[in-house]
């Protein structure tokens, strides 16, 4: 459950405003968790009450923010420990559209969501098939020229 004092709503994505000389937060908030990529596989931060906990580590492996608390969120504003205020902006987001599996190849070939690469057989496979077919034709040809034995 998202604390109403944060100003965030469930199901909405929010990114952090980027200003000069302030820490950069490249990801987004969604349902009280902070993600770096749109895949939503691993949250690297989360909101507990109004506190924003962020699992960012420095090169020595220690948390960048003491106790992992990057700041607090108040009315769609991230307030860092040093007092810096960064606005949270609602992100426009289109959910990915998936094509039903029953669609025909013609439709799939014209869809920007399903790029189709032509299948190119291996040159060795083509040579092998040609030799096999040639051998079969040669054998048939030789069998056809046999004279019956009396």
Q: pLDDT tens digits for 82-133?
A: 889 999 999 887 655 554 544 444 444 555 555 556 677 778 888 888 899 9
Average pLDDT, the chain: 81
pLDDT top residue among 10 and 114 = 10
Alpha carbon distance 39, 90 (integer Å):
18
In the chain, domain spans: 4-90
Above pLDDT 70, what percent of the chain? 78
Other C-beta atoms closer than 10 Å to the C-beta of 54 total 19
Instruction: Using a cut of 0.75, tell me whether the model's pTM lies above it.
Output: no
């Amino acid at each position: 459950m998202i604390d109403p004092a944060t100003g965030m709503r469930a199901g909405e994505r929010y990114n952090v405003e980027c200003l000069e000389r302030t820490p950069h937060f490249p990801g987004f908030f969604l349902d009280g968790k902070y993600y770096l990529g749109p895949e939503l596989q691993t949250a690297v931060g989360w909101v507990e009450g109004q506190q924003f906990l962020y699992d960012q580590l420095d090169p020595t492996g220690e948390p960048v923010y003491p106790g992992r608390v990057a700041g607090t969120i108040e009315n769609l504003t991230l307030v860092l420990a040093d007092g810096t205020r960064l606005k949270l902006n609602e992100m426009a987001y289109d959910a990915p559209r998936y094509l039903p599996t029953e669609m025909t190849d013609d439709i799939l070939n014209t869809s920007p969501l399903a790029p189709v690469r032509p299948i190119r057989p291996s040159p060795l496979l083509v040579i092998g098939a040609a030799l096999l077919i040639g051998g079969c034709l040669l054998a048939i040809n030789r069998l056809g020229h046999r004279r019956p034995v009396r």
